[in-house]
């Protein structure tokens, strides 16, 4: 309850949300003898498994145990689903650390640590030389390759995908857990997810833990603290590189005659992995366009996205009607989370050393047993 920031009143309120008859009382939940059925309801909130509540050992409440004990405030007002997600990946991180230790594998930090007094753009260009994918990729393949390159430098990236029919979505985009774990939420628009990853790399480079909801260059926020501002500047410079960075710096003020640099934005957008909104936000911050112009352009971009999503929804509804007419079920496969080579290699070594069995190997990777051989090659 301390970890999740819940009081007794909060917990009882959550437990009784769907109980119209005889709500659970404090005595039902917090007495020495608790019904198994009540524990099952409690576990729907904390998702620990019933054995967790029967363990007589005291729970650790140390800074080493969780980011929730190390920090009091985050760049996101976390809902319960987000807290569960953070806690889950903290447990995954501890499991990986244990497997590495039992396998006698030591993976030290290879990328340097910077601080906010240093130039974010300079740091980004230095780090870019080491981990930025050298070949041309589409956005999805670029994201996968960058995660792989980070694994080469002993940075573990987890990506999680939420079910489309999940009632409460985690209100986070990504977070960094010291010393070497980044977690990303799958996003429909890959450029946004790429920027989130670059932003979290910034946190890793600063060795500053954080849980983020809105990332500044995608959603304008003028009230950023020094660390968040640094990470946004790092992320943008990391993704566009030196050539396009200088191109933007050398632009004159945008006006009707130069079409507010539309052609330049289109060029950078098509040749890099940053969104148009992120580029225009950079132009606003560098005083190349005014706030009214930015607001107008931003509204146009957001309107285009809304229209595109409406078209996709209409297309889906037509396909569903056609499938129903044929007596078929329309199945849209959910996106699969990217598996970091860091994580895969750790599990492979653990399997070969007898630390996990084939069932656990498949469970952790969320793969079917018949696909096992493909992940051992």
Q: Which of 234, 263, 297 is the last residue of a domain?
A: 297
In a domain, 371, yes or no: yes
Token digits of residue 19: 């109980």
pLDDT value at position 213?
76
- Phi and psi dihedrals of 194, rounded to 5? -60, -45
Let me know whether 290 and 171 are in one domain.
Answer: yes
- Phi and psi dihedrals of 160, rounded to 5? -120, 145
Structural domain tally of the chain?
3
pTM of the model: 0.88
Let me know whether 198 and 346 are in one domain.
Answer: no
Let me know whether 213 and 136 are in one domain.
Answer: yes
| Rg (alpha carbons) of the chain, rounded to whole number | 23
* Residue 209 contacts residue 67 (beta carbons within 8 Å): yes
Let me know whether 15 and 99 are in one domain.
Answer: no
Q: How many CA atoms lie within 13 A of 316 on its CB side?
A: 8
In a domain, 12, yes or no: yes
Integer Cα distance of 342 and 153 in angstroms: 9
Q: Which of 297, 331, 359 is the last residue of a domain?
A: 297
Q: Which of 192, 96, 193 has the alpha carbon at shortest distance from 151? A: 96
In a domain, 90, yes or no: yes
pLDDT value at position 325?
87
Q: Kindly give the confidence (pLDDT) of every residue in the chain, 377 residues in length, as a single tens digit, with 9 standing for 90 and above.
A: 888 888 899 899 988 887 767 888 989 999 888 888 889 989 988 888 888 888 878 777 667 778 878 877 777 778 888 888 988 999 999 999 999 999 999 889 999 999 999 999 999 999 999 999 999 999 999 999 999 999 999 999 999 998 877 888 888 899 999 999 999 999 999 999 999 999 999 999 999 988 887 665 555 566 678 899 999 999 999 999 999 999 999 999 999 999 999 999 999 999 999 999 999 999 998 999 999 999 999 999 999 999 999 999 899 889 889 888 888 888 878 889 999 999 999 999 999 999 999 999 999 999 999 999 999 87
Let me know whether 275 and 194 are in one domain.
Answer: yes
In a domain, 68, yes or no: no
In a domain, 19, yes or no: yes
Let me know whether 35 and 115 are in one domain.
Answer: no
Let me know whether 192 and 281 are in one domain.
Answer: yes
In a domain, 53, yes or no: yes
pLDDT value at position 68?
79
Size of the chain in residues: 377
* Enclosing domain of residue 225: 80-297
In a domain, 308, yes or no: no
In a domain, 302, yes or no: no
Q: Which of 169, 171, 231 has the alpha carbon at shortest distance from 204? A: 231
Let me know whether 51 and 114 are in one domain.
Answer: no
* Residue 171 contacts residue 76 (beta carbons within 8 Å): yes
pLDDT value at position 216?
56
Let me know whether 216 and 345 are in one domain.
Answer: no
102: CB partners within 8 A, 6+ apart = 350, 353, 355
Integer Cα distance of 202 and 210 in angstroms: 11
Let me know whether 188 and 254 are in one domain.
Answer: yes
Integer Cα distance of 75 and 225 in angstroms: 10
């Amino acid at each position: 309850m301390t970890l999740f920031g819940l009081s007794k009143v909060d917990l009882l309120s959550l437990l009784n949300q769907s109980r119209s008859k005889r709500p659970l009382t404090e005595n039902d939940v917090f007495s020495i003898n608790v019904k198994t059925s009540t524990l099952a309801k409690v576990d729907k909130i904390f998702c620990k498994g019933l054995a967790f509540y029967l363990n007589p050992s005291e729970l650790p409440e140390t800074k080493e145990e969780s980011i929730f004990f190390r920090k009091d405030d985050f760049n996101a007002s976390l809902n319960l689903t987000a807290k569960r997600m953070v806690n889950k990946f903290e447990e995954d991180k501890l499991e990986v650390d244990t497997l590495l230790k039992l396998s006698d594998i030591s993976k030290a930090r290879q990328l340097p640590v910077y601080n906010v007094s240093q130039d974010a753009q300079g740091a980004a260009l230095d780090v870019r030389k080491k981990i930025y994918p050298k070949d041309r990729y589409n956005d999805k393949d670029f994201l996968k390759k960058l995660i792989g390159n980070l694994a080469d430098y002993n940075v573990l990236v987890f990506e999680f995908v939420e079910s489309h029919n999940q009632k409460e979505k985690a209100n986070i985009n990504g977070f960094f857990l010291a010393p070497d774990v980044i977690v990303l939420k799958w996003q429909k628009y890959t450029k946004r997810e790429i920027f989130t990853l670059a932003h979290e790399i910034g946190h890793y480079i600063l060795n500053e833990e954080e849980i983020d909801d809105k990332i500044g260059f995608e959603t304008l926020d003028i009230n950023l603290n020094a660390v968040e501002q640094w990470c946004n500047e790092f992320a943008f410079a990391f993704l566009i590189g030196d050539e396009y960075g200088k191109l933007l710096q050398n632009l004159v003020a945008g006006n009707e005659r130069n079409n507010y640099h539309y052609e330049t934005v289109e060029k950078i957008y098509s040749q890099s992995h940053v969104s148009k909104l992120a580029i225009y936000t950079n132009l606003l911050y560098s005083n190349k366009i005014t706030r009214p112009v930015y607001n107008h352009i931003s509204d146009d971009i957001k309107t285009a996205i809304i229209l595109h999503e409406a078209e996709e929804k209409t297309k889906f509804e037509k396909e569903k009607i056609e499938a129903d007419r044929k007596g078929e079920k329309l199945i849209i496969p959910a996106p699969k989370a990217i598996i970091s080579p860091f994580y895969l290699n750790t599990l492979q070594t653990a399997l070969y050393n007898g630390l996990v069995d084939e069932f656990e190997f498949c469970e952790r990777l969320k793969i079917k047993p018949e696909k096992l051989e493909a992940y051992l090659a």
